[in-house]
Amino acid sequence: MATAKNICPREDGLDNLGRKEKAWGNVYTKNLHVTGSVELPADFVNGILAKKLLPKVTITTLSGSTVTATNGTSALNSTEAGSTGEFSFEIPSLGKWTFTATKTGAKAFTRSVVVDVTEIKEYKVEIAHGVRYGYRVKKDEGNPYGRVEYLFDAVGFTPAKMNFNTGAFDYGSWKDKWFVTKNKPCMVKSNGRIDYYLNPNNYALKENGTASDVANVNYDGNAMAQIPLVWVSRYERDGYEYEIISDIQYDDTYKAYAHTRADGTIADYFLYSMFGGSGGTAKMRSISGQSLAHDLTAEQEIAGCKANGDGWFIHTWSQRQLIRTLLVLMGKSTDTQAVFGIGNCRSGSNADSMLKTGTLDTKGQFWGTNANSSSQVKVFHIEKFWGDQWDRTAGLIYNNGNICVKMTPEGNGYRLNDIIGYTNTGVNITGSNGGYINKGTCTEYGFIQNTVSGSSTTYYGDGCWFNNGGLRFALCGESANNASGIGGAFTLNVNNEPSRANWNYGCGLSYLIWHSYLMPPIILSHC
């Protein structure tokens, strides 16, 4: 019997018979040896399709919709899986398929997306449907709860709140809304790529249950909260402040400033640090179990954030304003401390009053207390959104008594010592320096404080510090050195120049790559 010869390719690209390397083996039934790309025969692909190994497209949209798929003369229908808003299709041929979602009635809409089905795999696609969740605030009403009224698709909703008796967060009607479900804790590499998602109730674990790097100072990246795309319309009319959000740009008044890149394109999400900044000028970090960096100027803090790589920066005014809007919407109150928790606001006197990062690693997406002003508060997986330390915030400068804002990073970015590229809102602040906010101006630039003559239990219940002379750089969120009742999502300090450093001044990381063509790959399978 003849001995079989070895015909495996050699390092020189020839097989042992001297032939050039090709694909080896029977492509229909046996293993395929391939170096480089090989075009599979049409009969092979069609054979797979005939055996029902088909591409699958799962569409997520508004529950109760009708969804169809078309490709030329071919048309497919799908039945919704329960009340999940999910519609699944098995696609009989490769190519570009148009998926159209339609709904009639009070929330009527029709929208289409095109999916280029190029291979046999599962495609997951969301068709935004243009919901509008809104509220208006009666400016002259002092009751923080009584002054907020739900509008549009939020009418009839139950507000969210922290149950301070049980220690559990009550989502009310908001648990399944996209800005809640797509808000996820994750570890992000220094190049901006989402490495993996964390267990939302225990950051020490990855989403798959294995150990995470949330407390690993040697990890090449940071712990960040993913904030999905939200469009916001803000304005005032007839004694009311209006703030309305949507999952699409419902009309031209809806802006996505927090998600807008330097080139004007809109990102699907931005990343906001889960923890206050640690490390310092050499490299600012968002890592659990660390002491907060302090006694740094704005320039030093920004340098520390940028040391992580391109796209890393401190928090911005547009980012904080979006989160503030969402908190008022969910809680249906302008007193965010009363809804979500006091935070670490304990009238402390030095850096020892600040807590280490990660005290709330096992507390879920939202957590707070109204009984202990030395405990941190957490919203949207963000620890200490107020309390512990003033959060240096780019994009708002108080220049000689005028609020100037910059909502996006185009042009010169966020400058420190001048207002080049900023918009003068014409708003100035009056009242008692260090007192409580009772009035503001609501525009597309967010809620801008203008009168400080309230109290801890009326209007906004948050403090404001201001200096009408010189250039003052924004600090937000309050710190451990102030009293327990003066912090919150509206708290603003424009009392100091950007060169001021103190133990209770700090910053946190944000990430939004400034140009769309530089966007790194992301983990789509977990979205």
Query: Left if phi > 0, otherwise alpha if psi is -120 to 50, otherwise beta: which for 72?
Result: left
β-pair type (505-506, 390-399):
parallel
Give the Cα separation of 289 and 468 in Å (integer). 39
Q: Output phi, psi for 226, to 5 deg.
A: -85, 120
Q: Mean pLDDT by 10-residue block, N- to C-terminus, for the chain (527 residues)?
A: 44 46 36 47 58 86 92 91 92 94 80 92 88 97 98 97 97 97 97 97 98 98 98 98 95 96 95 97 98 98 97 97 98 98 94 97 98 94 97 98 96 93 96 96 96 96 96 96 92 97 97 69 37
* pLDDT given at position 53: 85
Q: Do 489 and 339 touch, CB atoms closer than 8 A?
A: no
- Is residue 163 exposed (0-12), middle (13-18) or buried (19+ Cβ within 10 Å)? exposed
So what's the pLDDT on residue 285?
98
pTM to 2 decimal places: 0.81
User: How far is Cα 186 from Cα 203, in angstroms, rounded to an integer?
Assistant: 9
Query: Rounded distance, CA 190 to CA 311, Å?
Result: 9
Q: 16: closest CA among 28, 4, 7, 26? A: 7
Nearest alpha-carbon partner for 476 in 463, 485, 467: 463
In this structure, are residues 277 and 293 in contact, taking their beta carbons and an 8 Å threshold?
Answer: yes
**By three-state DSSP, how is residue 395 classified?**
strand
Q: Indicate the fold that domain 56-126 takes in CATH.
A: Immunoglobulin-like (2.60.40)
Q: What is the C-alpha end-to-end distance of the chain, expressed in Å?
A: 59
Q: How far apart are the C-alpha atoms of 162 and 2, rounded to whole Å?
A: 80
Question: Are the beta carbons of 259 and 231 closer than 8 angstroms?
Answer: no
Main-chain phi, psi angles of 8, to 5 degrees: -65, 145
pLDDT at position 110 is 86
Residue type, 499: S
State both tokens at 247.
Answer: 């999952």
The pLDDT, as a whole number, for residue 50 is 54
Helices (H), 307-421: 317-331, 336-340
Give backbone dihedrals phi and psi of 10, rounded to 5 degrees, phi first: -95, 175
Host H or E run for residue 511: strand 509-511
Handedness of CA 491, 492, 495, 497 (dihedral sign): positive
**Domain coordinates of the chain in residue numbers?**
1-39, 56-126, 130-527
List alpha helices for 67-204, DSSP H.
178-181
Residue 294 is predicted with a pLDDT of 97
